[in-house]
């Protein structure tokens, strides 16, 4: 059987993209957000599925077991910009949702988010993950997901990642541009993968407070148990095992779920090169590391530091 070729990235308004996003561009840009829509935004591999599942349980966990056992997460929380041939687009899937609020996922850089989300003042949850773990996770994901560009070997992928020559462009631009937007836009909750890993309970409390939700202690406990890595890994409705284009034998979607896995991949040289690039690209940003900032605010103990230390 002939293998379908991997898509190529190309420059699209200054950001590396593939046709999977640009195919549906006009519909995407004209998407009509509703005031109660909730957008989960993140650079790829930052923990979007984790946060999607948390939000789905917070809003719809009470709806009975059918939703949880028969509807995969990508149908409950559509991927807004997705436009794979022969499949419903993300905008169509979102418009077909019958539940309210609509929870929607995107990896779009902030400048590409359809303007209706800003006009309607929708709540937006931005999830950041430290750049090194994101790179490692993205590398494995690109291997197993045939709709992604071929990552090549680890060292050439890492070089492309630093230069933003991967799908969705530069991690540095993504997180810093969203961070800048957060400052004036109070409807964005900026959180991190590391927040969730370090202290799920506190991260949940902050998220609920932003969303205006007050689940009971029992509900929170139940939710925290359901969203543990091992539980999600074995849950076919959230582990993407129902998506044929992902070859989970190459690498499972729910791969390691750890902070600091980059240490198992980076050589000393790659680490130095990455730190240099990181320093250079982040030099004009006030963003340090949101996990530490949040943790610092909560405990007043940890020093502010760079994400590389995680
Ligand atoms: S995607 O394809 O961009 O939407 O991927 P995304 O869901 O954003 O990120 C996938 C990574 O998140 C990890 N993950 C988790 N880690 C810890 N706990 C839980 N519950 C959890 N759920 C998802 C997932 O394993 C991917 O990270 P890596 O490092 O590859 O394991």
Q: What is the pTM of this model?
A: 0.93
> Is 107 among the catalytic positions?
yes
CATH number, domain at 143? 3.40.50.300
Q: Is 44 in the pocket of ligand 1 (CB under 6 A)?
A: yes
Residue 15 · residue 169 · CB < 8 Å? yes
Residues 250-303 have pLDDT tens digits of 999 999 999 999 999 999 999 999 988 888 888 878 776 554 444 444 443 333
Strands annotated E in 157-277: 188-192
- Asked if the model's pLDDT at residue 13 lies above 70, the reply is yes
Within a domain: residue 278? no
> For residue 161, is pLDDT > 80?
yes
Catalytic residue among 107, 140, 189, 295: 107
Q: Per the structure, how many domains does the chain have?
A: 1
The residue segments making up the domain with residue 210 are: 10-254
Q: Which of 142-151, 197-206, 272-281 has the lowest mean pLDDT?
A: 272-281
Asked if residue 245 belongs to a domain, the reply is: yes
Task: Give percent above pLDDT 90 in the chain.
Answer: 79
Decide: 229 in ligand 1 pocket, CB within 6 A. Answer: yes
In a domain, 208, yes or no: yes
Q: What are the DSSP calls for 204-221, one per residue?
A: HHHHHHHHT----HHHHH
Closest ligand 1 atom to the C-alpha of 107? 3
Asked if residue 286 belongs to a domain, the reply is no
Question: d(Cα 194, Cα 175) in Å, to the nearest integer?
Answer: 14
CA distances from 304 to 131, 237, 296, 300 (A): 16, 37, 7, 10
Do the domain assignments include residue 291?
no
Q: Is residue 306 part of a domain?
A: no
Ligand 1 lined by 235 (C-beta under 6 Å)? no
């Amino acid at each position: 059987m002939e293998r379908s070729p991997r898509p190529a990235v190309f420059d699209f308004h200054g950001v590396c993209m593939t046709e999977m996003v640009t195919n549906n561009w006009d519909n995407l840009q004209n998407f009509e957000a509703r005031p109660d829509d909730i957008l989960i935004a993140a650079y790829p591999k930052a923990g979007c599925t984790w946060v999607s599942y948390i939000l789905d349980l917070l809003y719809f966990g009470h709806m009975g077991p059918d939703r949880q056992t028969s509807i995969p997460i990508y149908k409950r929380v559509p991927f807004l910009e997705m436009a794979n041939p022969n499949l419903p687009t993300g905008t169509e899937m979102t418009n077909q949702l019958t539940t309210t609020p609509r929870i929607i996922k995107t990896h779009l850089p902030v400048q590409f988010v359809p303007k209706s989300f800003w006009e309607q003042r929708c709540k937006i949850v931005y999830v950041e993950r430290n750049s090194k773990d994101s790179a490692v996770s993205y590398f494995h994901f690109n291997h197993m997901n045939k709709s992604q560009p071929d990552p090549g070997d680890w060292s050439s992928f890492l070089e492309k990642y630093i230069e933003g020559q991967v799908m969705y462009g530069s991690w540095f631009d993504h997180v810093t541009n969203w961070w800048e937007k957060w400052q004036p836009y109070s409807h964005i909750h900026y959180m991190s993968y590391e927040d969730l890993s370090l202290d799920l309970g506190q991260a949940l409390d902050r998220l609920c407070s932003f969303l205006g939700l007050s689940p009971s202690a029992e509900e929170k406990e139940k939710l925290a148990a359901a969203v543990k890595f091992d539980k999600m890994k074995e849950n076919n409705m959230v582990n993407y095992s129902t998506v044929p284009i992902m070859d989970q034998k190459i690498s499972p979607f729910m791969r390691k779920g750890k902070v600091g896995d980059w240490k198992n991949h980076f050589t000393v040289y790659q680490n130095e090169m990455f730190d240099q690039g990181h320093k250079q690209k982040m030099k004009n940003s006030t963003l340090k590391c949101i996990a530490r900032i949040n943790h610092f605010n909560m405990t007043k103990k940890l020093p502010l530091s760079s994400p590389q230390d995680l």
